[in-house]
Amino acid sequence: MKPGKSGKTHVHQTIKPIQRISNMAKESTFNPEYQAANTASKVVAALERLSEAFRVLLWQEAKQHGISPIQVQILTFLLHYPEKVRTVTHLATYFNMTKATVSDAIKTLESKALLNRKEVKKDNRSHTLHLTREGRSLGKKVEKFANPMLDAVKNIPPGKQAELLEELLRLIKDLNEKLIITPQRMCFNCRFYEMKRGGHYCNLVQSPLKSSDLRVECPEFDVAVLKK
């Protein structure tokens, strides 16, 4: 404290930085008080709860069959995708994991006689992955892990489902552009897609698209070239 020109003692305002730190701590997506007045934070918190639900469903299914959650996902993937993408490299990219992690999961599935490898003719260092009869049988069982989530979504009116799909795809695209997740083979990332007359349009089929027509994964996908 210092005396001023008037002889009065002045107290320096030293508490403001502390208050600022306290306010910053409160401005957290996971602070219920902050969430109450911030819609974006509530959306993020809701998405986090949904991700927890997926983790629980995956773990429950995996534990029931004596495999790991990533092995459940690999079996499900191999059940539905074409041979050209059934490789360790593609799986690592698709699931945002290291090749080493995926390779370890593949080795375990191979040791359980659930899949085998097939050499690529033009490159004997590369292999494609193929489910055995037992692998296909187990894959058809474990892929149902997401059914409780599917049932919940089905309770949403169809029009609202389409709106939700569109907004989720926009969110995924934004995360793609920020390199948080790998680019997805969806309409918004495809060179055939454009906004035309205020609506979605596919230049491959030369037809407008409703929100419900948008795809998360399209077999005809061709990556868009970024405009400079």
Share of residues in the chain with pLDDT > 70 (%):
86
Share of residues in the chain with pLDDT > 90 (%):
67
In Å, how far from its chain's centre is CA 73?
13
Give the model's pLDDT for residue 228: 42
Question: What is residue 31's three-state secondary structure?
Answer: coil
pLDDT digits (tens, 9 = 90+) for 171-225: 999 998 898 888 788 999 999 999 998 899 999 999 999 999 999 999 888 887 6
pLDDT digits (tens, 9 = 90+) for 46-90: 999 999 999 999 999 999 999 999 999 999 999 999 998 999 999
Locus of tokens 């080795």: 107
Give the model's pLDDT for residue 77: 96
Question: Is the pLDDT score of 3 beyond 90?
Answer: no
From the number of C-beta atoms within 10 Å of its C-beta (0-12, 13-18, 19+), residue 82 rates as exposed
All structural domains of the chain with their residue ranges: 38-154, 156-228
Mean local confidence (pLDDT), 154-166: 96
Q: Are 65 and 138 in contact (CB under 8 A)?
A: yes
Q: How confident is the model at residue 32 (pLDDT cuts 50, 70, 90)?
A: confident
Q: Are 3 and 9 in contact (CB under 8 A)?
A: yes
CATH architecture of the domain formed by 38-154: Orthogonal Bundle (1.10)
| Cα–Cα distance measured from residue 44 to residue 113, given in angstroms and rounded to the nearest whole number | 40
C-alpha dist (Å) from residue 157 to 54, 109, 154, 162, 164: 22, 40, 7, 9, 10
Question: Is the pLDDT score of 160 beyond 70?
Answer: yes
| Cα–Cα distance measured from residue 36 to residue 42, given in angstroms and rounded to the nearest whole number | 7
Give the model's pLDDT for residue 45: 93
Give the model's pLDDT for residue 18: 45
Mean local confidence (pLDDT), 95-122: 93
| Cα–Cα distance measured from residue 46 to residue 34, given in angstroms and rounded to the nearest whole number | 14
Structure tokens at 187: 């309409």
Q: Which residue has the higher pLDDT, 185 or 154?
A: 154
Give the model's pLDDT for residue 124: 64
Q: What amino acid occupies position 95?
A: F
